[in-house]
Amino acid sequence: MNTPRTTLRLAGLFAAAGILLSACGGGENVAEPTPLTELPSPAYRMQRIWHTDAGEGAGEYVSGFKAAVNGNRVYVANRDGYVEALNLDNGKRIWRSRTGDRLIAGPTVANGKLLFGTRDGQVVALSADTGERAWTAELSSEVIAAPAANDNVAVARTLDGRLVELDLATGERRWTIERNVPTLTLRGTSSPVIDGDTVYAGLDNGKVLALDLATGEQRWEQAIALPSGRSELERIVDVDADPLVLDNELYAVSVGGEMTSLSLTSGRVRWKQDVAAETGLAYDDRNIFTSDRDGDVWAVNRLTGGKSWEQEGLKYRQLSAPAVLNGDLLVGDYEGYVHWLSADDGSVIARGRPMDEAIRSQPVVAGDRVIVLGADGEVAALRFTPADAQ
């Protein structure tokens, strides 16, 4: 039996008491993972350029940890409060910082700083050069999604439904807005997205919110999915995947079963597709890609919202969000495999296993290599070369 990927949380009184319900999200992860079969003629070979252990990772916690690449450095963090800067070329440690905080999300790299969320309701900023603490901002509840940031401000989303803007230089609070949280939601939140003078955020009530970055004033609010069903469990519609801004469109997906394309300026719905997902989105010139809650990988046409293809051969393998490399897709799974899928039809064309622990966070593409982060703190840099290359 594979380990349940999602946990549920009760808002209000139960959230205040810190009571969590451990459960399989909607029951889909109780099924046995699809066994892997040997690929007769893989198109690529996986080369592990380097591999290192950066600590305890997130373990079984639902987290917003990710690998962040900036210049020639890879930044990672773990639940014990350690942050490391690694050399992108060889994985060697440049510095290690012991924050003493119960980190649970990040890092986000912005204007020489690394930003993290904590289980104690803080945003922590460190120097990206040295790992020294720049500031700590106290918020109202856990920050389990990485803050968004530009050169001047950071925006964090808290578990109790608040969005808070902080001055990037000092951590001083600029504004706060609050939205009600449904009685029962998944224990997870999406990171806000800053685009120009607007910040966009997916909410636990199935909506996407657009706010003026300077003032926090609402510009528009649009429902992605509406609660339906008799039980609170059936009515969960969280938007836990980070929204994706491309050109003049915003793409968002809900665990309630809708992927949606919205106008950036008005929030008007362009199209909807029946996809239930909580991981992030990726894209190419034709499609938006995601891994749904059953472990199927989807390609949805950016223009029409029609399904281009659906890969069902990795069902229940607890896939990460996909990443695009050299025109095709990469996804990690709960056993530490990385699967390479054709962006044309979704067929699995290569596979490798760089580590023996779950890969939950979206792989990060850095030039010709891919950085993958394991749930228990392993980090690896991979390169894929054509199988027929000499």
- Domains of the chain with CATH codes: 1-61+278-390 (2.130.10.10)
Arithmetic mean of pLDDT, 331-356: 97
Q: In what order do the strands lie in the sheet with 307-311?
A: 282-283, 287-291, 297-301, 307-311
Find out whether 351 and 31 touch, Cβ atoms under 8 Å: no
Strands 259-263 and 122-127: unpaired
Arithmetic mean of pLDDT, 326-344: 97
| pTM: predicted TM-score of the whole model, two decimal places | 0.91
Arithmetic mean of pLDDT, 47-75: 90
Find out whether 118 and 103 touch, Cβ atoms under 8 Å: yes
Surface-to-core class of residue 52, CB atoms within 10 Å of its CB (0-12 exposed, 13-18 middle, 19+ buried):
middle
Surface-to-core class of residue 32, CB atoms within 10 Å of its CB (0-12 exposed, 13-18 middle, 19+ buried):
exposed
Tell whether the model's pLDDT for residue 145 goes beyond 80. Answer: yes
Surface-to-core class of residue 248, CB atoms within 10 Å of its CB (0-12 exposed, 13-18 middle, 19+ buried):
exposed
Tell whether the model's pLDDT for residue 11 goes beyond 70. Answer: no
User: Which amino acid, one-letter code, is at 332?
Assistant: G
Which one has a higher pLDDT value, 19 or 82? 82
User: Which amino acid, one-letter code, is at 70?
Assistant: N
Per-residue pLDDT tens over the stretch 245-279 = 999 999 999 998 899 999 999 999 999 999 999 99
Residue 16: predicted pLDDT:
35
Residue 367: predicted pLDDT:
93
Per-residue pLDDT tens over the stretch 12-27 = 433 333 333 333 333 3
CA-CA distance, 318 to 339, in Å (whole number)? 12
Q: If you ran DSSP here, which 8-state letter would residue 285 be given?
A: S
- What percentage of the chain reaches a pLDDT higher than 90? 81
